[in-house]
């Protein structure tokens, strides 16, 4: 899914100069016939998945009408333990058919700063559905209140382990570019364009169909399979698509047929545009290679080189950290800036990127960040393929955690996101400085995507809070141990649609400890961590004062008489949040000395008192001085500094907040 990079939106709001439109590029010219890739779909042969849903599609693109006419044959295998007598299909393009669809009503006709064009709708029509020789289209019905789910009855039940073939003819009318798909001028992104069968989920023997209507915050969930797609397109256009190009043939009518083959993928998307160029590189994975391509227009060549380097680094680092990239090719589409509605989205072996703006100088790594995020989805959405409708955080949030890790490996600990004009910033702390406070997000991370209060709440919990929670847990258990545990999770659950419970169980098994003390409040309850210094008090050390003894031995000890030198200090820290997480507290003293203590709140305590005897008074208290607890919110009261006049006492009502220091730590020189 599109990275919610605030810098991009700010740049757009400032009205950055966009590139010239299609009309300035001249009429499309005939493109050379592409050469087949000459590589297998998988780097090493053999199925990785059960391949329950495989498609053969023959499609013809009308560039003038922005329409696709196609025939598809779905071979569906019942991987469950109970028979099936209906097949539901997602018809995602019908989300753009009118203003009454769930997608339009839940989005208000707006998606990431882009508005739907009310003069250019999109839809999908299916005049024929055949099972064998039997036509079943008249009996198919729409489910869910709009036309984004079509239920198709079968003439006979499909038993467990058996397969059925369904042949459909359909027309896909693209909308003007909006929410990842459609056309802008000659450019078109053809995504979620074909009838896609749902997924059977649940306890074996009691499976149910998962094929919900399309909501603005929900993305995609589908079974793996093999795709063979023939695209008939104008010979003037460049095409980039999922999988590998296996054949290319010119026709006499000015069109050509491009044949693509993909294995162990759960979707097929493609881009078409007459003005694109291709920049190619190679990523090293184990003892093999992956072909990496960036498809771009000529005016974006400089950014294309940056996207290519980022994509290569992502493939190499993700392959080392998790599982090797299994496919032979990765294609990155860099849409023209005016086609921003297609930017920043992931599909198997093909992603779209963003960030090509004049302010994004070398070292301002927003373009790289978007490419790394989208290519990274080929692991957490492409390989693991969790149910994004119900548990979007398993893809988006886990991927965002991994993105920051990879950026650190690629660009350095302190400059992973920014290294420009003497300014540096790392991705973790820059994100933390820009994030909404997690205690203000009213829904837990583990909320179904459609059930969040709004898109901002969905993004804050699904992307940023998930990443912060994983980063926090990483610091608690140790970076190397956590990295090894996440690698085991990816290796164990690749191509198996893991759930959140599967991730937790895998981490607990690998780490050898019960993580529910953290996992339950962090992922299944709202709120986060909210540390604060409640009180600080330092008094000069002295003997007890007062009256001691009886009779002639009675002695009165006053303040001056009882001084013994040094100071006794007390600090009380609290956690107003819901997640009990260990944290370091650093104490600095007037003589320049310091000490660091640790408060481990896993015992259920909500506060802790530190007491100490020192030769000089406290001048500074910092909770989480290294920024390890990224779930922490309201940083204003985590770090206080006392003036020399505060020797007697200091209470929370008089504390000094240093929010500017936190921000400068994130982006400062």
Q: What's the rounded mean pLDDT across residues 150-175? A: 98
Whether pLDDT at 654 is above 60? no
Q: How confident is the model at residue 192 (pLDDT cuts 50, 70, 90)?
A: very high
Q: What pLDDT score does 257 carry? A: 98
Beta bridge partners of 554: none
Q: Look at 44-48, 320-324, 371-375, 634-638 and tell me which has the smallest mean pLDDT.
A: 634-638
Beta bridge partners of 611: 570
Phi and psi torsions of 662, nearest 5°:
-65, -40
Q: How confident is the model at residue 666 (pLDDT cuts 50, 70, 90)?
A: very low
Whether pLDDT at 27 is above 80? yes
Q: What pLDDT score does 299 carry? A: 96
Token pair 């936190």 is at which residue? 662
The answer for residues whose C-beta is within 8 angstroms of residue 552's C-beta and 6 or more apart is none
Both tokens assigned to 375: 């290519």
DSSP reduced 3-state for 513: coil
Q: What pLDDT score does 660 carry? A: 35
Q: What is the mean pLDDT of the chain?
A: 91
Whether pLDDT at 652 is above 60? no
Whether pLDDT at 544 is above 90? no
Q: How confident is the model at residue 7 (pLDDT cuts 50, 70, 90)?
A: very low
Whether pLDDT at 665 is above 50? no
Q: What pLDDT score does 22 carry? A: 72
Q: How confident is the model at residue 413 (pLDDT cuts 50, 70, 90)?
A: confident
CA distances for 50 relative to 53, 268, 327, 487, angstroms: 9, 17, 16, 22
Gyration radius of the chain's alpha carbons: 29
Token pair 């703006």 is at which residue? 357
Q: How far apart are CA 655 and CA 100, in angstroms?
A: 53
Q: What pLDDT score does 542 carry? A: 76
Q: How far apart are CA 271 and CA 570, in angstroms?
A: 64
Q: How confident is the model at residue 590 (pLDDT cuts 50, 70, 90)?
A: very high
Secondary structure, 3-state, 386-455: CCCCCCHHHCHHHHHHHHHHHHHHHHCCCCCCEEECCEEECHHHHHHHHCCCHHHCCCCCCCCHHHCCCH
Whether pLDDT at 645 is above 60? no
Secondary structure, 3-state, 593-636: CEEEEEECHHHCCCEEEEEEEECCCEEEEEECCCCCCCCECCHH
CATH match for 52-223 among 2.60.40, 2.160.20, 3.50.50, 3.40.50? 2.60.40
Greater confidence (21 vs 336) lies with 336
Whether pLDDT at 440 is above 60? yes
Q: What pLDDT score does 562 carry? A: 55
Q: Look at 9-18, 81-90, 200-209, 415-424 and tell me which has the smallest mean pLDDT.
A: 9-18
Q: How confident is the model at residue 350 (pLDDT cuts 50, 70, 90)?
A: very high
The answer for residues whose C-beta is within 8 angstroms of residue 422's C-beta and 6 or more apart is 669
**Do 72 and 128 meet the contact criterion of CB atoms below 8 Å apart?**
no
DSSP reduced 3-state for 667: helix
Q: How confident is the model at residue 3 (pLDDT cuts 50, 70, 90)?
A: very low
**Do 268 and 259 meet the contact criterion of CB atoms below 8 Å apart?**
no
**Segment of 17-26, 355-364, 423-432 carrying the highest mean pLDDT:** 355-364
Q: What pLDDT score does 546 carry? A: 83
Q: How confident is the model at residue 643 (pLDDT cuts 50, 70, 90)?
A: low
Beta bridge partners of 345: 352
Whether pLDDT at 650 is above 50? no
Whether pLDDT at 437 is above 90? no
Where are the domains positioned within the chain?
1-47+283-526, 52-223, 531-667
Q: How confident is the model at residue 560 (pLDDT cuts 50, 70, 90)?
A: low
The answer for residues whose C-beta is within 8 angstroms of residue 321's C-beta and 6 or more apart is 402, 405, 406, 483, 486, 487
Strands 270-273 and 255-265: unpaired
The answer for residues whose C-beta is within 8 angstroms of residue 105's C-beta and 6 or more apart is 99
**Do 439 and 426 meet the contact criterion of CB atoms below 8 Å apart?**
no
Q: What's the rounded mean pLDDT across residues 582-596? A: 95
* Half-sphere exposure (Cβ direction) of 603: Cα atoms closer than 13 Å: 5
Q: What's the rounded mean pLDDT across residues 380-387? A: 97
Q: What pLDDT score does 84 carry? A: 98
pTM for this structure? 0.90
Whether pLDDT at 434 is above 80? no
Tens of pLDDT, residue by residue over 619-640, are 999 999 998 998 987 778 888 8
Q: Look at 354-368, 380-394, 545-559, 632-646 and tell me which has the smallest mean pLDDT.
A: 632-646
The answer for residues whose C-beta is within 8 angstroms of residue 135's C-beta and 6 or more apart is 128, 129
Q: What pLDDT score does 561 carry? A: 59
Task: Give the CATH H-level superfamily of domain 1-47+283-526.
Answer: Neutral Protease Domain 2 (1.10.390.10)
Q: What's the rounded mean pLDDT across residues 61-68? A: 98
């Amino acid at each position: 899914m599109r990275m919610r990079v605030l810098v991009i939106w700010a740049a757009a709001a400032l009205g950055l100069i966009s590139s010239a439109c299609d009309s300035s590029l001249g009429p499309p010219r005939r493109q050379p016939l592409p050469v087949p890739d000459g590589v297998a779909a998988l780097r090493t042969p053999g199925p990785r998945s059960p391949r329950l849903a495989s498609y053969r599609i023959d499609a013809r693109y009308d560039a003038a009408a922005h329409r696709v006419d196609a025939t598809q044959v779905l071979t569906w295998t019942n991987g469950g333990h109970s028979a099936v007598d209906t097949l539901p299909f997602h018809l995602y393009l019908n989300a753009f058919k009118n203003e009454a669809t769930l997608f339009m009503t839940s989005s208000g006709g707006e998606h990431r700063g882009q508005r739907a064009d009310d003069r250019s709708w999109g839809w999908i029509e299916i005049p024929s559905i055949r099972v064998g020789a039997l036509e079943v289209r008249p009996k198919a019905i729409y489910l869910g209140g709009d036309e984004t789910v079509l239920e198709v009855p079968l003439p006979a039940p499909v038993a467990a382990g058996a397969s059925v073939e369904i042949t459909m003819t359909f027309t896909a009318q693209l909308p003007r570019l909006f929410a990842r798909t459609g056309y802008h001028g000659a450019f078109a992104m053809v995504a979620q364009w074909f009838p896609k069968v749902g997924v059977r989920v649940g306890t074996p023997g009691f499976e149910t169909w998962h094929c919900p209507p399309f909501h603005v915050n929900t993305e995609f969930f589908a079974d793996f399979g093999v795709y063979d797609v023939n695209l008939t397109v104008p010979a003037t256009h460049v095409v980039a698509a999922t999988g590998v190009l296996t054949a290319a043939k010119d026709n006499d009518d000015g069109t050509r047929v491009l044949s693509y083959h993909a294995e162990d993928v759960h979707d097929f998307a493609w881009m078409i545009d007459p003005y694109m160029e291709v920049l190619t590189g190679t990523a090293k994975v184990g003892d093999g290679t992956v072909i990496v391509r960036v498809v771009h227009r000529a005016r974006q060549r400089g950014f294309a080189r940056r996207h290519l380097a980022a994509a290569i680094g992502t493939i190499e680092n993700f392959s080392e950290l998790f599982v090797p990239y299994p496919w032979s090719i990765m294609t990155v589409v860099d849409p023209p800036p005016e086609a921003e509605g297609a930017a920043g989205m992931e599909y198997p072996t093909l992603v779209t990127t963003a960030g090509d703006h004049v302010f994004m100088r070398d070292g301002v790594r927003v373009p790289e960040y978007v490419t790394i995020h989208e290519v990274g989805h080929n692991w957490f959405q492409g390989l693991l393929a969790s149910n994004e409708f119900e548990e979007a955080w398993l893809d988006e949030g886990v991927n965002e955690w991994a993105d920051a890790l990879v950026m650190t490996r690629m660009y350095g600990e302190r400059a992973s996101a920014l290294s420009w004009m003497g300014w540096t910033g790392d991705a973790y702390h820059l994100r933390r400085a820009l994030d909404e406070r997690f205690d203000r997000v009213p829904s837990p991370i583990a909320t179904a995507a459609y059930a969040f209060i709004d898109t901002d709440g969905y993004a804050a919990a699904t992307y940023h809070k998930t990443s912060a929670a994983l980063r926090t847990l990483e610091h608690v258990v140790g970076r190397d141990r956590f990295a090894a545990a996440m690698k085991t999770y990816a290796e164990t659950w690749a191509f198996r649609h893991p759930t959140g419970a599967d991730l937790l169980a895998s981490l607990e098994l690998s780490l050898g400890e019960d993580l529910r003390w953290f996992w339950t409040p962090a992922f299944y309850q709202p709120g986060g961590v909210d540390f604060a210094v409640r009180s600080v008090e330092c008094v000069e050390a002295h003997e007890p004062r007062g009256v001691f003894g009886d009779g002639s031995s009675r002695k009165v000890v006053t303040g001056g008489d009882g001084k013994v030198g040094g100071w006794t200090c007390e600090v009380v820290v609290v956690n107003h949040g819901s997640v009990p997480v260990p944290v370091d507290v650093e104490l600095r003293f007037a003589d320049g000395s310091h000490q660091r203590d640790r408060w481990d709140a896993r015992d259920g305590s909500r506060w802790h008192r530190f007491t100490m005897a020192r030769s000089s008074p406290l001048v500074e208290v910092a909770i989480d001085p290294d920024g390890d607890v990224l779930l922490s919110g309201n940083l204003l009261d985590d770090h206080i500094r006392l003036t020399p006049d505060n020797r007697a006492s200091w209470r929370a009502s008089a504390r000094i907040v240093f929010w500017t220091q936190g921000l400068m730590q994130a982006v400062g020189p």
